[in-house]
Amino acid sequence: MKFNVSLKRVVDDSYDIEIGYGLYDSLVSDLKAGLAGGRRKLALITDSIVEKLYADKLTDALTGEGFEVHRFVIPAGEKSKTRQMKEFVEDSMLEKGFRRDCAVIALGGGVVTDLAGFTAGTFGRGVPFVNYATTLLAAADASVGGKTAVDTPLATNLIGMFNQPRKVYIDIDTWKTLPREQISSGLAETIKHGCLGDRELFEYLEKNIEKVFDCDRQVCEYISRHNCEVKYKVVMQDEKESGLREVLNLGHTVGRAIETVSDYKLLHGQAVAIGLCAQARLGEKLGFISKENVQRVEKLCERAQLPVCIPDYIDREKLLDKLYTDKKVRDGKLRFVFQKQIGEMMCFGGNNYGKQISREQIADVLSKM
């Protein structure tokens, strides 16, 4: 005896991204208008640094309109993006009486938006969430696109899910409180977007990148808009990473491996910058990019105060081994995505953007970095 369980679905996961300054009132207004399905009980997930800077103001704005808000604070830093910390947040929410009639607000950078989005996707089998990005890194990458995950001892982002937010708020005012190295970290993802899909953005950064550190209003608005445009154009075509979306991992095969092997001494963007330079150098050997454009990538990273060489304390053999934990690995074989000059990606036929690379090929490049 057989039964067919027909569960065909048409799902609209579209959402808005709002870029501006001091967007608390906009968030409150949207929630009052039903952004989270009318839910009044809110889990505000943030980290120990962002809490001191912005949580009071946002909490006051929400409670002043009758919302019940509880804060769940994790230690700042990549080491908090774990299954154990997700469990801590979930158990803390349950203890406060949170059930399916709640919503999640992620207030912070990439670690917070990743962890909170993953938590929202599994809590009560899924509750609505919004991202309120407070770093350039989150604005450029982590808060947009619906990828949520935690890290494991083996590698970053191996456990997670695709879970789209109801809305993303990019508050450029918050960048003014970022340490300089956090601005640099976010610029790595911005440079990556120029490399893979926006030559105009790359050339604009070549002319204006130092102004980002001063939080120049016009420049920050420009890069925020272009970051979102590059990302959503890819995500709209391939939400679940069946092919094209792999291009957003440009520089991340080496980058994530270095980040893990460094025990997170390197910030995510610092590791990605090294990865960008590694793929560019290997891409030059394979004929995908000119030496001149490799130099442009490296020079732009240096002007963003990002590393372009592997720190001496990184064990090269350990790094090579760690490359094989990358999500693009197929049948135990390394695969890289490569930029094609500036602003375009290599495609290797059909919907295939990854190219198989031997250990020896990447080892040769890394030995000279």
Same fold, 16-177 and 180-367: no
Enter the DSSP assignment of 291: H
Residues 307-322 as b/e (b if ≥16 CB within 10 A, e otherwise) read: bbebeeebeeeebbeb
What are the phi and psi torsion angles at 207 (to 5°)? -90, -25
pLDDT exceeds 70 at position 203: yes
* Per-residue confidence band for 229, with pLDDT thresholds at 50, 70 and 90: very high
- Work out the angle at residue 229's Cα, subtended by the Cα atoms of residues 328 and 227, and round it to the nearest 5 degrees: 75
* Structural Rg of the chain based on CA atoms: 20
Give residue 69's pLDDT: 98
What phi-psi label fits residue 305: left (phi over 0), alpha (psi between -120 and 50 degrees) or beta?
A: left
Give residue 217's pLDDT: 96
Q: Taking all residues of the chain, what is their mean pLDDT, rounded to a whole number? A: 94
Comparing CA positions, the residue from 166, 186, 175, 359 lying closest to residue 267 is 186
Helix axes 199-213, 217-237, angle to 10 degrees: 140
Residue 171 bridge partners (DSSP): 20
- Compute the average pLDDT of residues 315-321: 95
The rounded distance, in Å, linking the Cα atoms of 107 and 192 is: 24
Domain definitions of the chain by residue range: 16-177, 180-367
Q: Which two tokens stand for residue 57?
A: 């103001």
Q: Which of 59-73, 80-94, 150-164, 266-280 has the lowest mean pLDDT?
A: 150-164
Give residue 141's pLDDT: 83
- Compute the average pLDDT of residues 62-75: 97
pLDDT exceeds 90 at position 84: yes
Q: Which residue has the tokens 């454009």?
A: 293
Give residue 13's pLDDT: 81
* Per-residue confidence band for 238, with pLDDT thresholds at 50, 70 and 90: low
Give residue 5's pLDDT: 74
* Per-residue confidence band for 163, with pLDDT thresholds at 50, 70 and 90: very high
Sign of the dihedral through C-alpha 251, 262, 320, 162: negative
Q: Does domain 16-177 have CATH number 3.40.1800.10?
A: no
What does the pLDDT look like over 18-65, one tens digit per residue?
999 999 999 999 999 999 999 999 999 999 999 999 999 999 999 999
What does the pLDDT look like over 275-305, one tens digit per residue?
999 999 999 999 999 999 999 999 999 999 9
Give residue 326's pLDDT: 87
* Per-residue confidence band for 233, with pLDDT thresholds at 50, 70 and 90: confident
- Compute the average pLDDT of residues 221-241: 86
Q: Which two tokens stand for residue 83?
A: 């299954």
Give residue 144's pLDDT: 79
Q: Does domain 180-367 have CATH number 1.20.1090.10?
A: yes
Q: What's the pTM?
A: 0.93
Give residue 270's pLDDT: 98
